[in-house]
Structure 1
């Protein structure tokens, strides 16, 4: 018994010590930095919903910095690359109720303005105007956070930065990711070479796929590179879910060990428990309620140079849906069909177009009515299909109310669901002649009731997704579309880029594959 007791005691101490060492090892791997390069307000602040829950917005940054020998070899052009820029920027939005998520890619060449950056340990920069947004990373990841927040109006809660070698290591840790391409493709700039069909990519091949811009879509950063990335990330997300990685301690260990070595995160994520908690939040979101979208941009020639700028109204609509925590899918996972999310989805018993509602402005601040409140709410109602909504000026009132006559409850409920008005504020009154919404002093800003969780309207979804090259997270079998453009400057049989022709001729990625027999494929 004494021997057994000693053995058991030793095992307890040994396993406890191993767990402690593992925890210490993972925590010591993590590199962290300031969230914002401009103080505590530089990243914005989230607003809680009616239940006190807040969404999570993470800026994922892929750095092109050649800061060590491994990254230098992987990225090439070590002597000419210079500095550190964001090859990839994505805003990952996880809703407050953890039922849906949106991943918005920000093209690296997008021109933007931001207020400059001053963060300890990083290069300072003054106010920027019409500057490529990827250049903000020179001021540190917190500067990229500032630039993206000021561009979009979306609060950024965390950032994660990964370099070339980090992508290689993490793809190896998950055992590779299976992707599909719809034609033969060779991009000599990223070195990606694949035959049409399915391939499992890891290591260098995964990095080549994620960096490819000339091989996919329209061969641009806004369509070419992000299309391939969305295909890869959709496959990765489904693999992690299908394998149970995000809910398995043993599988999470391998991934966490690679991730903590590969990532630089903001200071509030600098422990393994916080990172695992973030993984658990993501695991709650069904794949069919994840939307991948590319921010709408277009290239315009300015003084002989092409510049990338936002395309409206799509870009602003996409910003608004994320900032307002609105899903780009319905509760069933549909992308653009009419309907509402899990919290506002029950279809009204009457069609919105048949509901006549009068909106009265009773919202007062500092003793005076806030101008335009009724008109603002009417505009929102009309966007949601309530074409018979009208605005009038009323008397100041402390609280919002929605009244209706006998038999008018279905019409009033339709209005309440559209705007997130609490059931307690919806009442039948004897003297009512129609549905009347009085906007009170408890609702002085915004077009949905404060703290309410309402879905984007179908028209809002369509505007937000128009031109965004979007993909649903459940589309794991979709293939990356290989570019048809002659955008690869000629290559020889060994796959070397050649400009010996005058002027140099161009070829398509598929033709480049055919004329480069001596180049080994990236994956079988």
Structure 2
């Protein structure tokens, strides 16, 4: 299946604006769009009125055409299939409000989660909701897949881009091939990828084999595949941005035509003008500030072949939702300490939000105030141990009380909520207790204050997330050292299979 080619493909469209009315209408006619139906949540503007952009790029494994059946296989008994298939690739693409940085987070297809109630606007197929594998939500339409990712991560999703098998082939051909590197000889007998050690330029089916390969790299699971997809996408972005790629009119036409034909998008991206705007925003981000990560996972205790959200993932989600970069201005991975200003001499160092739990008590007559504020805190990455309660008595003034040695925690929470130091009080107990008074009847930022997200705990956010940046041109996909493939009934490593299949042509020939 494919991957986040959707990011790079939109860059191509930016050069078509002056190509003539016929060309414009032709490209618009290529685009297939669907409504998100408000399923992805809403972005919040920053202090300057700018909003981030979050796009769910998904690759469908559906065999809904003869071409996809030929490329993906598996249609010998069923024939051409109907429906959306599964979202075997899911990437949340975040472009910051100031367009200075971007994050691409892959969600492994084997993640178990709660799928909400959904109805596909095209097929009419519906579900009351269920607990299952995250990629299955696409069966109920792209909007359901968006809703599922939004519910899992808390990240607002503005748009989606969906591609199928043939879309990857068309895009890789149109761009003239994508250069990739493999650490050793590799033959994945399942995706049919076969390459010798070193660098290769992949087009068409070879490109599809590379992004589909899960047995050839890493530990032979979907987790290893996300890393190779990041390598492929980074290479494609570099090629789009490289000198000369977008200056050949013939190449530009081929790229724009392939891009618009390959996509299904939401109705917020359903015209060339809208894609041009997105392309322009994405093109502002330097490759050294495009961070690729994979959601941290843990083994599902009920199924060894599935995974669940792991340690650090909630912090990664909160960092993206809070529009906080995972790189510094120089393009280096940000560390927790570099995400905040240096404390003054003698001041307590800041405490990461993920380490802070708050007891939120409602001292107003407004129902649900404690829940609203608690959700705002956990949405910014505060501990999920944050709880709610009713205050013992009505309160006219909002206070945040902290225990001995917990002032730094209180300051972090106060900053996130827009509370001034005047609202902080040291108590005799332990922990942090926020009592919401009648001076704060609505909203999740204290009236009259400028609320800022808690400092990003980027060390935790990228820990175990296989973070890389798009400028890393020399990175090779690591071939699996395990016996993850099978040739003529014999289990082998991908390198052993390469040697044993000398008669089969390589994927770049």
Q: TM-score range with shorter-chain normalisation?
A: 0.7 to 0.9
Measure, in 2, the Cα distance between the counterparts of 1:62 and 1:381.
29
252-261 vs 474-483, greater mean Cα deviation: 252-261
1:471-490 matched pairs, under 5 angstroms: 471-489=468-486
Show the counterpart of 2:465: 468
Show the counterpart of 2:348: 353
**Displacement after TM superposition at 1:336 (Å):** 3.8
Measure, in 2, the Cα distance between the counterparts of 1:449 and 1:513.
66
1:192-341 matched pairs, under 5 angstroms: 192-221=193-222, 223-243=223-243, 252-300=252-300, 302=302, 305-340=303-338
Name the SS for the 1:79 alignment partner: coil
Show the counterpart of 1:71: 68
Show the counterpart of 1:506: 491
Inter-CA distance 175–366: structure 2 relative to 1 (3 Å threshold): same
CA contact (8 A) 1:296 1:315 kept: yes
Name the SS for the 2:118 alignment partner: coil
CA contact (8 A) 1:201 1:523 kept: yes
Name the SS for the 1:167 alignment partner: helix
- Please give the per-residue CA displacement for 1:45-79, whole angstroms capped at 9, x wherever unaligned: 11111111111110111111111111111111113
Name the SS for the 2:20 alignment partner: helix
**Displacement after TM superposition at 1:97 (Å):** 1.2
Measure, in 2, the Cα distance between the counterparts of 1:51 and 1:227.
35
CA contact (8 A) 1:362 1:394 kept: no
| Structure 2: stretches of 5+ with no match in the other structure | 1-16, 352-357, 384-392, 401-406, 423-433
Measure, in 2, the Cα distance between the counterparts of 1:165 and 1:381.
39
Show the counterpart of 1:54: 51
Inter-CA distance 108–52: structure 2 relative to 1 (3 Å threshold): same
Measure, in 1, the Cα distance between the counterparts of 2:100 and 2:289.
7
Is 1:161 matched up with 2:162?
yes
**Displacement after TM superposition at 1:461 (Å):** 1.5
Name the SS for the 1:142 alignment partner: helix
Structure 2 length-normalised TM: 0.77
Give the aligned CA root-mean-square deviation in angstroms: 4.0
Name the SS for the 1:131 alignment partner: strand
Inter-CA distance 474–426: structure 2 relative to 1 (3 Å threshold): farther
**Displacement after TM superposition at 1:418 (Å):** 9.5
- Please give the per-residue CA displacement for 1:373-424, whole angstroms capped at 9, x wherever unaligned: 89x98xx9999xxxxxxxxx997458x99xxxxxxxxx99xx699937989x
Inter-CA distance 313–470: structure 2 relative to 1 (3 Å threshold): same
How many matched pairs? 452
Show the counterpart of 2:114: 113
Structure 1 length-normalised TM: 0.75
1:30-179 matched pairs, under 5 angstroms: 30-35=31-36, 39-40=37-38, 42-79=39-76, 84-179=85-180
Inter-CA distance 256–396: structure 2 relative to 1 (3 Å threshold): farther
| Structure 1: stretches of 5+ with no match in the other structure | 1-15, 384-392, 402-410, 428-436, 492-497, 500-504
**Displacement after TM superposition at 1:154 (Å):** 1.4
Measure, in 1, the Cα distance between the counterparts of 2:440 and 2:198.
60
Measure, in 2, the Cα distance between the counterparts of 1:456 and 1:449.
21
